[in-house]
Amino acid sequence: MIELRNVIKKFAGRLAVDDLSFTVPRGEIFGLLGHNGAGKSTAIGMMLGQVWPTSGEVKVCGHDVQSNRRAALMQVGAIFETPVFYDYLSGWRNLEILSTYTAPTTKARIREVIEWVGLTGREQSKVRTYSHGMRSRLALAQALLPKPELLILDEPSDGLDPEGIHEMRQTILRLQRELGLTILLSSHLLNEVEQLCTRIAVLQQGKKVFEGNVADVKATLGKVALKTSDFVSATKLLRGSGLIIATEQEKFITLAEGRSTAEITQALVSAGIAVDGIWQHEQTVEDFYLNLVKPPPTPQKN
C-alpha cells in the first residue's frame, strides 16, 4: 500500500529525510517511530503529496504520488496530531466541506461515519463546542468518509487524556478488524505502538535506523528472568556448569547456546536451590527504542 524508495528531502540545504526506503503491505499496522524532528511528519507529508521529495520515489496504493497524486490518494484517509476544523461551522458542515475534496458523498454516508465514530446527536453543534476527544472522533470521521483502504495517522493520540488514548487505541484496532484497513501510525507513545503495530521503522535524524517486526523486537534471544532464593549462588553454579554465559541486575541470566530453561531449573533444584520463577524475558519496544537511539558514548580523553 505504501512504498518509499530512496527518498531524500532537503529543506534549504538541511537534510530532513535521508535515503528512506520502506514498504507497508496491505492489512498491516505499521509504526513510524522517532524523536521530534526525526523526519516522521515530513515522510508522511511526502506520502500525501504535501511535501515534494528532493529525490526518490513515493508510491501510495500503487500510484506515484508526485505524478498521479489524485489516484494515489483516492482511497486514503489521514489524521494529524491536533485535529483542526472550521470551528465556526457544525461538525456535519465540516464533513460535507471535506468530502467534496475527494468525491461526491451522500448524506447517508456522512450519517454512517458519524454513527461509526459515535458523534450522533452532536453533528449539528458547532465544532468550537467540541471537546478534544470529540474533535479526534470528527477527525476520524473525515478520514473515513472516502471509504479508505489506507489510513495515515500522524500522532493521533497527541493531547488526549489516558481515557482518550485508550479509546483511540481501541478504535484503531476496530478499524483494522472491522474494515480491514492498512494503517500507518506515527507516534511518540511507544506503549501504543507496541500494542498496535505489527511492524515498525525507527527514524533518527531523517535516517531509518531500524525496520522490523514488533515480535522480533520484543523477543530477546536467550535472556531469561530468574527468581530464586539465592541469585548469586545460583548463577555461580550455572556458570560453572556452562549453562549460562552472563548475568544482569541480579535478575536476568543469558543462556548458553542450545540450553533451555528446563535444564536451568533441573540444575538448580538438584543443587538444593529453590526456584521461585523462571521465564523468557521480553524487552519492551521502549527499551529497544531507547537503546537504539541512545547516543554513542563519548571517547574519554587520556
| Residues found near other proteins in the complex (CB under 8 A) | 11, 41-42, 45, 48-52, 69-74, 76-78, 80-82, 84-86, 88-89, 93, 96-98, 100-104, 142, 146, 152
Q: Least distance in Å: CB of 238 to other proteins? A: 53
Q: Least distance in Å: CB of 170 to other proteins? A: 23
- Report CA-CA distances (Å) from 188 to 93, 193, 219, 248, 286: 32, 8, 21, 28, 10
Smaller CB distance to other proteins: residue 86 or 279?
A: 86
Element (H, E) at 289: helix 285-293
Smaller CB distance to other proteins: residue 135 or 259?
A: 135
Contact between residue 130 and residue 138 where contact means Cβ atoms under 8 Å apart: yes
Per-residue cell: 196: 498496535
Strands 63-64 and 76-79: unpaired
Smaller CB distance to other proteins: residue 90 or 261?
A: 90
* Paired strand residues for 9: 17
Smaller CB distance to other proteins: residue 78 or 202?
A: 78
Contact between residue 2 and residue 60 where contact means Cβ atoms under 8 Å apart: yes
Smaller CB distance to other proteins: residue 78 or 268?
A: 78
Smaller CB distance to other proteins: residue 150 or 197?
A: 150
Q: Least distance in Å: CB of 84 to other proteins? A: 4
Burial track 190-214 (b if 16+ CB lie within 10 A, e otherwise): bebbbebbebbbbbbebebeeeeeb
- Report CA-CA distances (Å) from 274 to 6, 230, 242, 289: 55, 8, 19, 35
Contact between residue 75 and residue 150 where contact means Cβ atoms under 8 Å apart: yes
